[in-house]
Amino acid sequence: MPQETLSPIDVSRRIDAVRNALQVEDAASHCSAVLITSAVNIRWLTGFTGSAGMVLISLSSQTPSYLITDGRYISQAEQQLRNSKSPVEIVEKRSLKEQLQFVVRKLEEYLPSKDERSLGIESHDVSVEMLQQLEAEVASQGNEREKFAWHAIQEVFVNLRRKKTPAELERITLAASIADSALQSVVHLLLPGISEVQFCLHLDHAMREMGAQDVSFPSIVAFGENSALPHHRPSRKVLSEDEVVVIDFGALVDGYHSDMTRSFVCTDGSTARGQELLARFDAVKLACEEGGKLVAPGVSAASIDARCREVLAQAGLENELNHGIGHGVGLLIHEAPWINPRSLDVLCENDVVTVEPGAYRMGLGGVRVEDLFIVSSAGHINISRSPKTPYSSLNV
């Protein structure tokens, strides 16, 4: 499906969803307004993809909300908000100072009583400098002793973004399909003599040729001992016999990510080292499959993590996994829900999650196998279709 035929994403009800969510949050119950500054939440909320701007939402449905940006983005914002059916009003302010002055003036209008003013902010995104500038604007428009209360509200957006709409699922599914097709088109290159960098270039180029807007994240291609490093960056290391290949990658479609890992073993299985690597591959593959079977609404994320670790333990690899089993995927490559031993998350319909067990041993190498799932009413849909085989097509 070409990107041009994707269903539009309708954000018309998202402002109300934020208001409703904040009204049941104890910490944010006294906010008069919310200031959104992170690009990912501005995009989710309004459809606007510019690199400069902020959104101000009053908690009263009787007052308008605003996208505040500079002149470079006004035409873009008008088009994107029209396409997304966003009810937000666009305000042009040239500098950050002017934008913050507008925010403070609106806060004065929202709650005239000085004893009750407060602002919800994304504390993970707002810098100390920006907060100081906000406080300075408050002081300049009132008296120096006047303060606003600040409340962290980012968890509201984390929870709202978890449940994907059909249009969002279209984009993630297309991104996963592009990644599958790209790998299939280049996997035959995994032969002794190719370098990590060379293979990565072929893979990334294939994803873009097949319609990806970009790669989801810097692709991980790791050969041999490098595969024991979960977040290795491609080097000029050349693939040799009896080595593992780990490829962790994804495609980006209209802002939405995919994520998949496939491992291969460059061996004919005739050596003890090759046989050991194949056995490790089989154990990790089984852990991925067994964990994936549990993906369904109402299932605790921690139980999926535990099942994967149980399978690895049966193969004697329980001490060789050094990361959580999975995470959510959407406008961010890593977002809620989180699948790890400490997670309190419970899977919900229309979550999109990975299951990615691995086993890593320095000096030998690592294996990771990862699938991407949509949590559905019937359980799940695995949208990672690439075969989980230890062999690339031509290395046996």
Whether residues 134 and 184 share a domain: the answer is no
pLDDT for position 140:
81
Residue 393 maps to a domain: no
- Chain segment 209-233, per-residue pLDDT in tens: 999 999 999 999 999 999 999 999 9
Residue 330 has pLDDT above 80, yes or no: yes
Asked which of 4-8, 23-27, 98-102, 337-341 is least confident by mean pLDDT, the reply is 23-27
Residue 386 has pLDDT above 50, yes or no: yes
For residues 346 and 22, the model is more confident at 346
Question: 373 has which bridge partners?
Answer: 353, 382
Whether residues 155 and 185 share a domain: the answer is no
| pLDDT, average across residues 59-74 | 93
The CA distance from 233 to 221, in Å, is: 7
pLDDT band for position 110 (50/70/90)? confident
Residue 394 maps to a domain: no
pLDDT for position 147:
62
Residue 391 maps to a domain: no
pLDDT band for position 273 (50/70/90)? very high
Residue 77 has pLDDT above 50, yes or no: yes
Task: Decide which of 160, 189, 219 is a domain's last residue.
Answer: 160
| pLDDT, average across residues 248-262 | 98
pLDDT band for position 4 (50/70/90)? low
Whether residues 144 and 226 share a domain: the answer is no
Look up the CATH number of the domain holding residue 278: 3.90.230.10
pTM, two decimals, is 0.94
Whether residues 90 and 207 share a domain: the answer is no
Average pLDDT, the chain: 92
Residue 236 maps to a domain: yes
Classify residue 301 as exposed, middle or buried by CB count within 10 Å of its CB (0-12, 13-18, 19+).
buried
Whether residues 138 and 188 share a domain: the answer is no
Mapped onto helix, strand or coil, the DSSP state of residue 390 is coil
Whether residues 170 and 114 share a domain: the answer is no
The CA distance from 255 to 215, in Å, is: 10
Task: Decide which of 106, 136, 160 is a domain's last residue.
Answer: 160
Whether residues 154 and 205 share a domain: the answer is no
Token couple for 317: 């690899």
Look up the CATH number of the domain holding residue 10: 3.40.350.10
Asked if 339 and 352 count as a contact pair (C-beta separation under 8 A), the reply is no
Whether residues 243 and 359 share a domain: the answer is yes
Residue 283 has pLDDT above 80, yes or no: yes
The CA distance from 205 to 60, in Å, is: 48
* Percent with pLDDT over 70 in the chain: 93
Task: Decide which of 136, 160, 184 is a domain's last residue.
Answer: 160
| pLDDT, average across residues 59-64 | 88
- Chain segment 157-184, per-residue pLDDT in tens: 999 999 999 999 999 999 999 999 999 9
Residue 396 has pLDDT above 70, yes or no: no
**Amino acid letter for position 39:** A
Say how many domains are in the chain: 2
Percent helix, strand, coil in the chain, to 5, is: 40, 20, 40
The CA distance from 226 to 236, in Å, is: 11
Whether residues 290 and 329 share a domain: the answer is yes
| pLDDT, average across residues 74-78 | 98
Mapped onto helix, strand or coil, the DSSP state of residue 239 is coil
For residues 129 and 13, the model is more confident at 13
pLDDT band for position 114 (50/70/90)? low
- Chain segment 129-156, per-residue pLDDT in tens: 888 888 888 878 765 545 667 888 888 9
pLDDT for position 113:
60
pLDDT band for position 395 (50/70/90)? very low
For residues 137 and 9, the model is more confident at 9
H helix intervals, 221-365: 272-293, 301-314
Name the residue range of residue 12's domain: 3-160
As a dihedral over the C-alpha atoms of residue 245, residue 365, residue 175, residue 289, rounded to 10 degrees, the angle is 110
pLDDT for position 255:
97
